[in-house]
Amino acid sequence: MEYYFFTLWIAVMAFYCYKLFAAHKSLKKVEYNNAHKLKEKQIKIHK
């Protein structure tokens, strides 16, 4: 039973670490997506 709780604790910690990491990456991704959308708009204007 202790093993189950230990595994659960590791899973929760990993999940929180992943959430923090994903939040950090998503901020960069939002910046990238905004820049990408601007480029797409410029391309559409040129066509």
What are 7-40's pLDDT values in tens digits? 999 999 999 989 988 888 877 777 778 888 888 8
Distances (CA, A) of 1 to 8, 14, 26: 11, 20, 37
Statement: the pTM of the whole predicted model exceeds 0.75: no
Provide the pLDDT for residue 47. Answer: 60
- The pLDDT assigned to 14 comes to 94
Model pLDDT, residue 13: 95
User: Any residues with CB less than 8 A from the CB of 42 and at least 6 apart, and which?
Assistant: none
pLDDT at position 16: 93
* pLDDT at res. 15: 93
